[in-house]
Amino acid sequence: MGLPMNDATLRHPIPLVMRRLLIAVVAATLLATVFAVAPPPAQAQAEDYEVLVVGKTLGFRHSHIDETTNAIIALGEEHGFTVDVWDNRQPALTLATTPFTSAEDLAKYATIVFVSPVDGTNNLNNPTRPRLLNDDEAAALQGYIRAGGGFVGLHAATDAMHTYPWYSELTGGGARFRNHPAQQTATMRVEDPTHPSTEMLPLAWERFDEWYNFTTNPREDVHVLITLDESTYNPGFGAMGADHPLAWCHNFEGGRSWYEAAGHVEAAYVDPTYLAHMLGGIEWTAGVVGDAGDCRTFNEVDAMLASVDAGSRPAQVLVPKIQARLDAAHAAELALDHATSAEFLESAQGMAHAVDTDLAHALADLWTWQEAATAATAGTP
C-alpha cells in the first residue's frame, strides 16, 4: 500500500510527455544516470588497468578462492586488466609482501577484490585475535578508498574484519555474515536491472549456492541490486524475512563499493552469467563502466541536500519541501514500496532544479533506481 499523498503537487511535476518517455526507458532497463564523479586513483580506462585480488585467510578457507582467483585472471586477459594476488595459500601467485603498505602504493590498482578472506574475527569477544588487515594495513585501505579507490566483496568478504567497524561500513551498511543454512537452490530477485553488473541477469535468477543471513539488513545505507526470495528455499535460523538483500553497492567515502554474497560454489566461476555479473562489479568499481549515479543512496543525497546553500529565497522555500519528499521516499523504499518512493522522488527532483543542479541529478538517480525496481518487481512472478 502506498503512503498517503494529500498534496497534489507530489504527483506529476514533470511534463507528461517527458514522464512517459522516462518510464518507457526504465521499463526497457536502458536508463543512463546523469551524475558523475572523479575516477578512482588508478584512473582506469577501458583497458590496461590493474586489479588486486585478496584471498588471504586466517580462519576458515573457502574452497572456491583458487577458482575465483583464476577466473578473475582469465577475465583480465580477456577484458584488458592485469591482476596481482595477495594470498598466503597460493604461493605460486601471491605477492611476496603485503600490498597494503600505504594509500599511495595501493593507488596503482583501479579496484581491489576481496575473495572470501575469512579471518576468524566473528567471535567479537576476542578483539585481540589477528585481523586480515592490521592497523597500518587498514589505514592504507581507508586512504585508498577515500582517494577514490574501488572495492569488490565476494561471498565471505563480510566474514572478515568483524572487530573493525569501518570495514563493515565499506562492505555495506554494517552488515556482517551471521550464518547460513545448507546449500540449496533458491531464487534471487534482481531489484535494479539498470546497473552494469545486473543488466545481463534474468529478473528471477535461480541458482544452487550457499545463502548468507546477515547481522543486519543493510538497505537503509546501500543501493540494493539483488534480493533473495526466502519463499524459494529454507533459510533456517537467522532468516531475514521478506526483505533479504544479497547484492548491493554504494558510493563510500569517495570510493565505490560493490558486494555479492552468492558465489560459494566453485561452479559459479565457470558460469558465464555469474562471471558477467562479477565482471560488471569489477568494472564499475574500477571506473571503467557507469558512474556514481548507478549506486546512488538515499543517505548520500540527504547529505547533499544538507549542504545546499539555503540563503536564496527559492532555497528557503523549496529545501524543506524537498527534504520532506526525500524522507518520505526513503521510508517508502524501506517498506519496499518502490512505486510510491519513485513518485516522491519525481516531485523532489522537479523542485531541486530551482535550487541546485547536482542535487536534482542525484535525485534523478534515486528516481531511476526506484522506477527500475518498480518495473522489475512487476516483471517477476
DSSP result, 169-191: HHHHTT--EEE--S-EEEEEEES
How far is it, in rounded angstroms, from Cα 223 to Cα 192? 9
Number of domains forming the structure of the chain:
2
Sequential pLDDT tens for the chain (381 residues): 344 344 333 333 444 334 434 434 434 433 333 333 333 454 455 568 999 999 999 989 999 999 999 999 999 999 999 999 999 999 999 999 999 999 999 999 999 999 999 999 998 878 888 999 999 999 999 999 999 999 999 999 999 999 999 999 999 999 999 999 999 999 999 999 999 999 999 999 999 999 999 999 999 999 999 999 999 999 999 999 999 999 999 999 999 999 999 999 999 999 999 999 999 999 999 999 999 999 999 999 999 999 998 888 889 999 999 999 999 999 999 999 999 999 999 999 999 999 999 999 999 999 999 999 999 988 777
Cβ neighbours for 119, distance < 8 A, ≥ 6 positions apart: 57, 58, 59, 129, 130, 131, 132, 160, 161
Containing structural domain, residue 312: 8-31+296-378
Which of 261, 293, 325 is a domain's end point? 293
Q: Is residue 2 part of a domain?
A: no
Q: Is residue 227 part of a domain?
A: yes
Confidence (pLDDT) at 174:
96
Residues 172 and 310 occupy one common structural domain: no
Residues 254 and 301 occupy one common structural domain: no
Q: Is residue 39 part of a domain?
A: no
Residues 117 and 193 occupy one common structural domain: yes
Which of 237, 262, 293 is a domain's end point? 293
Residues 333 and 274 occupy one common structural domain: no
Cell output for 127? 578483539
Confidence (pLDDT) at 311:
84
Query: To the nearest 5 percent, what fractions of the chain are helix, strand and coil?
Result: 40, 15, 40
Residues 130 and 252 occupy one common structural domain: yes
Cα-Cα end-to-end distance for the chain: 19
How far is it, in rounded angstroms, from Cα 186 to Cα 191? 16
Confidence (pLDDT) at 73:
98
Residues 245 and 323 occupy one common structural domain: no
